[in-house]
Structure 1
C-alpha cells in the first residue's frame, strides 16, 4: 500500500470514529475507524507508523473537540488540544507497528488483535491521566451508549468497552486483509466474530430496580441571557431565570417533589454571602417545600483562588452540605505555569482567578423529608463526569443517585453537551444508578440506571424536567473491581511488549546467525579449495598424484 493510500485510510478512520460519537451517534463506525487505522499501519516501521497515527488522531480530535473554539474564541487552543491528543494516537501507531512486526504477533491474527486492544486501552488510560490530570474525552467507550456494548459497562467499565471496540476493529482489519488475499473462509470467520462481539452483550442483564426507595426529582434548566451585559448583571439574571423555572416546575408537577436541582453556575454570585441572591434561592426552596441543590462560586477572603461548589439549600436554614469540584479543567478553569504560557498566548489571562481543587469525596447528603433520611448523592461537576475514579469514589462511599450539574453556555451549539450526556449515560449504566444531568442551557436529561434517557431538553432553551428515580445501593462488578482492570491492563501490556521484544530479538538473532553461517560457509569453501589446489600441486611436483581407478567416484 502506498503512503498516500495509507494516509487517506487513516484520515477516513479518524472521521468515521468521530461520527460514532454524538451528534451523529453511529456507534458501529468506531469499530470501522479502528480497523482503518490498523490497516493503514500494517507493515510500517516506527516513524511512518507514528505519522499515520497522528493523521488518524487529528482527523478524529479536530472535529471532536471543535467546542474549544467557542469556549475560548480562538483557534489556537483548539488546534493545540487536538495536536496534543493526536500525539497519543501517534504513540499508539509506533508502538503497534513495533509489536505487530515481531515474530510473536506477525502471523497470529487473534493474538495480535488481543495485543492491539490492550495497547489501545493502555494509551487511552495514559491520555486520561497525564498531563495535568489528563483528558478522557474521546474514549472509545463513550461512543457506544446507543449500542449493545453499553451492557458491558457494569461489568468492566470503560476499559472493557473500549477494549471490545478495539478488539473488534482489529478483527475487522484481519477480515479485510484475508478477503484481499482471497482467503474467504478466514475473512468470513473474522467478520462473524465481529458481529457476535457487537451484538451478544445485549443479552446481559441490567441493574435498574429500586433498592432504597425512590426520589421525586425536579430539575430546572433556566437558560442564560445573551452576552454583552455586565458580568454581575448577567449572573443575577441567570439566578432569576432558575427561580422562574422553579415556579413553572412546581406549577406543572403532579406530586410533591423531594428535591429541586439547579445546575452548575446557577448562582455564580454566592447566596451564602449575598442577601439578594439568598432571598431568591430561599423563596424557591420554600415554594418547593424541598431542598434546592445549586451551583455557586466561593471566593475565600484573602485568597486569590475560587472554588466551584454545589450547595444544598433549605428554606429558612440556608446552606447546608457542600461539594467542591475536585478536578478543575486546566486552561479552562485554572492556568498551570501561567507565566510560561503567557509568553505563548495572552489568552491565559482570560481566566482571572484560578479555580482551586476541592478535597472532599464526590458525595453530597441531601435531606429528604418523605424518606426521613439523608440521601447520599454522587456529584460530578461538568467535566468531572469523564473521570471514572471520581464517580466511583462517590458510589463506593454510598451514593444512591448520580448528579452531573454543568454549565454549557460557553460551548455554543457544538456537540459538547451531547458528548457530556453520553458520558452521563455511561456512568449510569456503569454503576446502575439513575443519573440527572442538569445544565444552564442544555442538554439536560434524566437517565435511568440502565443508561436509557427518560427525558431530555433542547439546547439554549428554558425547560424543566421531573422524574421518579430509583435509589440503589448495590455495587456493580465494575464498581467492585476498582483499580483491578487498570492493573490487568498494565500487566498484559507489559507482557505484550516483552513478547514483542523477545520476538524481535529472536528474529534478529536468527537473521544475524544465518548471515554469519552463510558467510562462513562461503569463506571456508573458498579457503579449503585454495589449500586443496596447493596440496595437489605439491604432490604433482613430487610425482605422488594418483588418479582414481576407472569407474570409481572421486571423493570430494
Structure 2
C-alpha cells in the first residue's frame, strides 16, 4: 500500500496553495486553468492519507478559497460572509475524506474527479437549496475546458477540470514509480482532455431561426450597498428615464427598433399592481419605446401579508402587464429566512427582513415580442435545474435580470458574468443580462461578451440577437451527467471505505498475536 505522497506538515502548504489556485481561477484574477492545478495540489496533500487529515486539509483549502471569493458577502454582514464560507469549506472538507479513500483504488484519478461533481451537487442543494457559487466549471468559460459545457453541461466541465489535474498527477506518480505503461495511459488521458476540448464545436444540435433586436437598460441606483434600494421610486425613475432616452434614439433612426426591452431585477421595488403612479411610469416608458418591457418587480402576494414575489413582468405598450415569471429559487437569508423563529431569537437583525420572498413553481418561459424568452433572476443563473427547464421548454434566448447594487464595486458582478458566459456555451443560446448597476451584457452562444455596460455606468444597449432552436448534447441529456458522475463518486467512496476496513481488519489479528 503506497503511503501518502507528502508529510502532513508539507500537506498543509499544498492545501494552502490549492485554495489560492482555486481563488485565482475566478474573477477578479480569472486565470481559469489554475483550477486543475488546485485540484492536483489538493490531491497531493491528501493522497491516501488518514480520513482526519483528508478532512482537515481539504477544509483548509476550502477556507483559503471561499473566504476571499465570497468577500463581497461582508456587505450584508461579517458573520454572513464567514458562515457561508465555512459552510462551503465544510463540503470541500467532506470531499477530502472521500478523496483520501478513493485514492487507494485503481483508476483513482477518475474517481476523484467524480467526487468533485458529487461535492458540488450536494453543496448546490443542501441546505435550503444550496449555494453553487464557486463551482470549478464557473471559472472555465474563457478556457478550452469551458467548451465541454455544450457536451456534458456544467457538472461535466467540473469533472473535466478535476480530471485534468488528477491525470497529470497520476502520470507523474507512475513515471516516478517506473510504471511506464501506466504513465503513458494517464499522460494520454491528460492530452486527450485538452485535445477534445480544443476541437469540440460549440452549439452542435442547435440552429438559428432568425435575428431580433433586443435592448437592455441599466438605470443605476442612487447609492450602493445595503441601502442601494432605499430610494425605490428614484430607481424606477432612473430606468424610465434611460428608456425614454433610448426611445428618442430609435425615433431619430440612430439605432434599430427593439422587439423588446429588458430591465433588471428590482427595477421597480414598488408593486406596480398596487401603485398607480409606478404603473403609469412603466407604461409611459413602454409606449415611448413602442415595445414590450420585461420589468423586474417586487410584488405583494395576494392574501399573504408576510409574503412577496420577485417577479419578471412583461409590460406591453398597449395591453399593459401580461405574462409574468416568479423567481423559482429565492436566496436563503438574502430573500427569505429559513427557520425564522429560531434564528431571529439568536440574531435579532433578521427582524430587518420582515417578509419572505416565496418561490414560484413554473419556469420563466415568456412570449415577448414574438420571441420565446427563458428568464432567470439573479443567482438562479447558477442553478442547473432552473436553467435546464428553460431549454427543455424551447426558450430561443436566455435573459438574466439581476440587481448587484448591494455588491457594487466588488468582484461579484464579474463572477456572475463568468457563470452567464458558461450558460451561453452550455445552452447554445444568446444570454442577455440586465443589471441595475452592472454588469449588463450581450453574450453570444460561444460565450463571447459582444457588448457590455460595466459597473457604475448607466444607459442602454441594443444588439441583434440570434434566436436558437434545438438543443445541445448537454441540453438533451439534462441532469444525466451529474447523476451518473455523482453515483460513480459515491460508489467509489463506498468501495474505498470497504477496502480500508478490510485492510484494517487483516492487520488487527496480527497485532493481537504479537501482543
Q: TM-score, normalised by structure 1?
A: 0.85
Contact 2:164 2:190 in 1 (8 A): yes
1:436 to 426, 432, 439: 432
- The equivalent of 1:414 in structure 2 is 410
- The equivalent of 2:266 in structure 1 is 265
Using the alignment, how far apart are the partners of 1:345 and 1:147 within structure 2?
42
Q: Per-residue deviation at 1:506?
A: 4.7
- The equivalent of 1:6 in structure 2 is 11
- The equivalent of 1:255 in structure 2 is 256
Does the C-alpha gap of structure 1 residues 428 and 3 become closer, same or farther in structure 2, counting only changes over 3 Å? same
Q: Per-residue deviation at 1:461?
A: 1.6
- The equivalent of 2:334 in structure 1 is 332
Using the alignment, how far apart are the partners of 1:277 and 1:77 within structure 2?
33
Contact 1:32 1:172 in 2 (8 A): no
TM alignment of 1:220-235, pairs within 5 A: 220-226=217-223, 234-235=231-232
Using the alignment, how far apart are the partners of 1:356 and 1:8 within structure 2?
44
Using the alignment, how far apart are the partners of 2:217 and 2:456 within structure 1?
13
**TM-align CA RMSD:** 2.5
Does the C-alpha gap of structure 1 residues 95 and 250 become closer, same or farther in structure 2, counting only changes over 3 Å? same
The answer to whether structure 1 residue 364 and structure 2 residue 366 are counterparts is yes
TM alignment of 1:517-532, pairs within 5 A: none
Using the alignment, how far apart are the partners of 1:228 and 1:393 within structure 2?
32
Gaps of 5+ in 1: 369-373, 524-556
Does the C-alpha gap of structure 1 residues 94 and 497 become closer, same or farther in structure 2, counting only changes over 3 Å? closer
CA displacement, residues 166-220 of structure 1 (integer Å, 9 cap, x when unaligned)? 1111123334545777889977875664354235312111228753222200100
CA displacement, residues 477-526 of structure 1 (integer Å, 9 cap, x when unaligned)? 1111123223312432243134324433553465457678x87xxx9xxx
The answer to whether structure 1 residue 242 and structure 2 residue 244 are counterparts is no
- The equivalent of 2:3 in structure 1 is none
The answer to whether structure 1 residue 78 and structure 2 residue 81 are counterparts is yes
The answer to whether structure 1 residue 55 and structure 2 residue 65 are counterparts is no
Q: Per-residue deviation at 1:232?
A: 8.4
TM alignment of 1:344-355, pairs within 5 A: 344-355=346-357
* More contact order relative to length (CA 8 Å, sep ≥ 6): 2
Using the alignment, how far apart are the partners of 1:318 and 1:93 within structure 2?
54
- The equivalent of 2:308 in structure 1 is 306
Deviates more, 1:349-358 or 1:134-143: 349-358
**Secondary structure of 1:472's match?**
strand
Q: Per-residue deviation at 1:75?
A: 0.9
Deviates more, 1:467-476 or 1:219-228: 219-228
Gaps of 5+ in 2: 1-5
- The equivalent of 1:534 in structure 2 is none
2:41 to 36, 40, 50: 36
Deviates more, 1:444-453 or 1:505-514: 505-514
Contact 1:49 1:94 in 2 (8 A): yes
2:423 to 427, 449, 460: 427
Using the alignment, how far apart are the partners of 2:177 and 2:356 within structure 1?
58
Larger radius of gyration: 1
Using the alignment, how far apart are the partners of 1:484 and 1:360 within structure 2?
22
Using the alignment, how far apart are the partners of 1:17 and 1:196 within structure 2?
23
CA displacement, residues 445-496 of structure 1 (integer Å, 9 cap, x when unaligned)? 1011121111111102203211111111201111111232233124322431
